[in-house]
Amino acid sequence: MTVVIAKKFGEYISIVSDTMITTPRTGTNTPRVSGDPVRQRRIDDAVPGRLKIVNIDQRLTIAYAGLSGLALTTIREIATTCRSGDLARLYDVLRQATVEAKHEVEFIVASHYGAANLRRVWDGLVSEPLPQTCIGDGAILPEVLRVFRPTDDGKENADTFRADFLNVFTNNRIHLGTGVGGFPLCLEAGPDGHVYKRHHFHFTWKPIVFIPGVTIYEDENDLQTGDWSFHHAAIASDAPAAAVIGVAVPQAKVGFIYSPLTMDDPVKVDLLERDLPWTQYERQMYDQLGWHVEEMAGQVRAWRAARS
């Protein structure tokens, strides 16, 4: 399972998701699952998982939940065979995929061919334009809406909704849903283009006891190992409609580059030698991953040009 949420704010659409995918594993040594005749179990891949929000061009983004392989194959077919703005053909391809998958995959489509438009495709059906929608396990959505405080500014609301999702997603006291996890990633779809959003985030799960009049520091060794907290940074390309985003995990000294139009799984990048303390090289690691993200964005542009 997974979660993808999209909400419309005037001409802006905010799309947020996790990266966890759940895959079936079979074999003679696989424990039997009750009621499953093929002796199947499911393996959760949270980190790095896969990117569920796929930016097609500056006016179109498709997100998915369910069978990741089929979803990505279908989205690439749309990216290479559908004319820009041909939403009727796009919806038809997505509808057929949901039927072929026997209802094991569903999609969200955000477009700006004219006014902002948000729709859901599931079970061979296409919704009417929606103010918001959620696919996968939506257990997190009520909590995000509970803390969200809208204003009269659509762009500001899109930013606030995204920030509220990040805060709720990284709150270990809140049930996110079954099979939901990994990295929280976001895209903003607006009249000026569809872009992945950057963020730097960390959250703490080990209680810190505050003593009045005393400055409390996180132990340097704990900071290195992640015993107290987990850090990550989403790093997007500066190029429009790049369809690429990276995530740095400084404590692990690695990064992952997601490019769903050209490959299913992200590329792992080593960002720092294992024996060096990441706290002294954090900016260098982010800059290095950013360089790799821009390089991958160039490869995606070449991929698009070769198929245009």
Task: Output the six-digit token pair for 245.
Answer: 């985003």
pLDDT at 201: 78
Task: Output the six-digit token pair for 136.
Answer: 């996968």
**Is there a contact between 40 and 25 (Cβ–Cβ < 8 Å)?**
yes
Better-predicted residue by pLDDT, 252 or 61:
61
Of 197, 232, 264, which residue is a domain's last? 197
Residues 286 and 149 reside in one and the same domain: no
Span 260-279, average pLDDT: 93
Which of 130-139, 172-181, 296-305 has the least mean pLDDT? 172-181
Task: Output the six-digit token pair for 203.
Answer: 């959250």
Is 34 part of a structural domain of the chain? Answer: no
pLDDT at 171: 79
- pLDDT tens readout for residues 289-301: 999 999 999 999 8
> Percent of the chain having pLDDT more than 90?
66
Q: Does residue 212 carry a pLDDT above 90?
A: no
Alpha-carbon gap, residue 24 to 308, rounded angstroms: 35
pLDDT at 1: 67
Q: Does residue 54 carry a pLDDT above 70?
A: yes
**Is there a contact between 286 and 233 (Cβ–Cβ < 8 Å)?**
yes
Span 150-166, average pLDDT: 94
Please state the three-class secondary structure of the chain as a single string.
CCEEEEEEECCEEEEEECCCEEEEECCCCCCCCCCCCCCCEEEEECCCCCCCEEEEECCEEEEEEECHHHHHHHHHHHHHHCCCCCHHHHHHHHHHHHHHCCCCEEEEEEECCCCCEEEEEECCEECCCCCEEEEECCCCHHHHHHHCCCCCCHHHHHHHHHHHHHHHHCCCCCCCCCCCCCCCEEEEEECCEEEECCEEEEEECCCCCCCCCCCCCCCHHHHHHCCCEEEEEEEECCCCCCCCEEEEECCCCEEEEECCCCCCCCEEEECCCCCCCHHHCHHHHHHHHHHHHHHHHHHHHHHHHHHC
Span 52-63, average pLDDT: 96
245: closest CA among 112, 49, 79? 49
Better-predicted residue by pLDDT, 230 or 108:
108
Of 142, 171, 197, which residue is a domain's last? 197
Better-predicted residue by pLDDT, 233 or 171:
233
pLDDT at 86: 94
Residues 69 and 150 reside in one and the same domain: yes
**Is there a contact between 94 and 112 (Cβ–Cβ < 8 Å)?**
no
Residues 140 and 14 reside in one and the same domain: yes
> Which domain CATH number covers 101?
3.60.20.10
Whether this model's pTM surpasses 0.85: yes
**Is there a contact between 16 and 4 (Cβ–Cβ < 8 Å)?**
yes
Is 211 part of a structural domain of the chain? Answer: yes
Domain that holds residue 277: 201-308
> Percent of the chain having pLDDT more than 70?
84
Residues 9 and 146 reside in one and the same domain: yes
Q: Does residue 39 carry a pLDDT above 60?
A: no
Residues 187 and 206 reside in one and the same domain: no
Q: Does residue 38 carry a pLDDT above 80?
A: no
Span 43-59, average pLDDT: 88
Task: Output the six-digit token pair for 92.
Answer: 């038809």
Domain tally, the chain: 2
Q: Does residue 251 carry a pLDDT above 60?
A: yes
Residues 173 and 290 reside in one and the same domain: no
Torsion, CA 26, CA 31, CA 36, CA 37, rounded to 10: 70
Of 197, 217, 239, which residue is a domain's last? 197
Q: Does residue 47 carry a pLDDT above 90?
A: no
pLDDT at 178: 77
